[in-house]
Structure 1
Amino acid sequence: MSLQFSVLASGSTGNAFYLETDEHAFLVDAGLSGKQMVELLGQIDRKPEDLDGIFVTHEHSDHIKGLGVMARKYKLPVYANAKTWKAMESHIGKIDTEQKFHFDMETVQSFGGLDVESFGVSHDAAEPMFYVFHYGGRKLALMTDTGYVSDRMKGIIKSANTFVFESNHDVGMLQMGRYPWSIKRRILSDVGHVSNEDAALAMTDVIGDATSRIYLAHLSQDNNMKDLARMAVQQTLEMKGFVVGDGFDLFDTDPKKATPLCAV
């Protein structure tokens, strides 16, 4: 049984994630234009016609920009909780009733052998939630767009084989940067985004013996850099006794380039 995935795009300009099992293929979010979504899938030699649905995390535009177009053009089922549906409906256009499905927070839905577990995060959206995917004894945890990582969240994602983990900003770059103070305050708040250092500290509580890959995701294009994020996370992990390259590795994500399709 094979669970494979790709971070199609990740960053402040748009987010999308692809996963497939032996039976199904799904997107999580479609935060780029429909044309860009098709191009990103093409980078991993996949086609939108083969998708079985889209799971939505929340209604911010960098997660739903291409959702309506993709759903309508390829007749895809869309899964979101009731508050997210209400918040995003005016932004995604009309979607046929038979394509609209509810996926409540803190529940599990099964698609063949794939169990999809939803969990809430702390972000300034209607009812933001992310997902853990269980298939064939493998566990893939996806979590960005949260101001902090609670013990409850840690318990749900703990000991995943692969993590896609928010590492949004360098605090110093953000504080010294061009954003107005109101936006800086929002990003740094409990309903904003996780910094490089806070991401690493949370990782120390969830990395397990079976963890092999951690993807640093949703990097700010203005307040972070790939090398900086990786260095900061690695240094913090090593201060806590975790050695990158000894059992697990760190990987970059990109706002315009899909990561190679990889088994969990």
Structure 2
Amino acid sequence: MEVDLIAAGKRIREIRNHHKYSMARFSKLVGNSSASTVNNWEKGNNLPNQDRLEKLAILGNTTIDWIRYGEFEDYVARLLIEANLRKKLDKKQFQQLIQTLKKQKITYSQDLKILTVANELFPDLFETNYKAIFSEESDSLISEDSTTYRIEQNDRYRNDFLPRIEELLHDSSQKEINATVLFRTFDMLKRTESNKHFPAIPQIFTILSDIVTNDVSYRNKPTSKVVDYAELTKNNHKGKQLSENTVKKKYAQAKKDLADLLDDFYSEYNDK
């Protein structure tokens, strides 16, 4: 779940006001910063870095997770709202869920595990089953540096997508080609996202990757509305080579599937 910077800022202000510190004094206690830095935290412009969050947690006799997300019960409640349940859990059900999570030592940022436990306890309330391969949780935090784009405050972007882009555009020996492909892909996605067949694009890329790489490792489809992006970005996509006869049959089928998908994708434009 993304951090609500405004709410986090209010909790930081609550810690400062509890000790009756000025912003200047407070900034010195949590690190070599300034009153304007503290002001940015409290306004919700950004979050302190890991070291300063640890000091804030000590001053507030609390945890970093509380500063970021608030009470755990509130965190779970917001997550359930995002899950679009058929029906809201009643008070008794919600307390049963919280007790089960604490018993299993499931806490903040383990969203998929929380939803899986809730789904197991109350399956009739969910539109889909939450079953996922759990990846290790990241402890990285939003930088306290000023950001130019809103996406820079997104943990998923910082932890999952940015490292992959860095690898393609910096570490690769084909960085110029990769940059060209990425920009063309971004442009295509932007121009086509209003198309009603836009959800078919991942399937189109899957077929193309199978044909180009003769690789069968991309066939696993998500079983949940919540996608584990950290799992998708791991460097473990290599599958197995197919026999020549199988490749020919697979290519013929893939060609037909791709043609059908593209026909559907462009149908609304062809009819105009």
State TM-score, norm by structure 1. 0.25
Structure with a larger share of its residues in strand: 1
Rg larger for: 2
State TM-score, norm by structure 2. 0.24
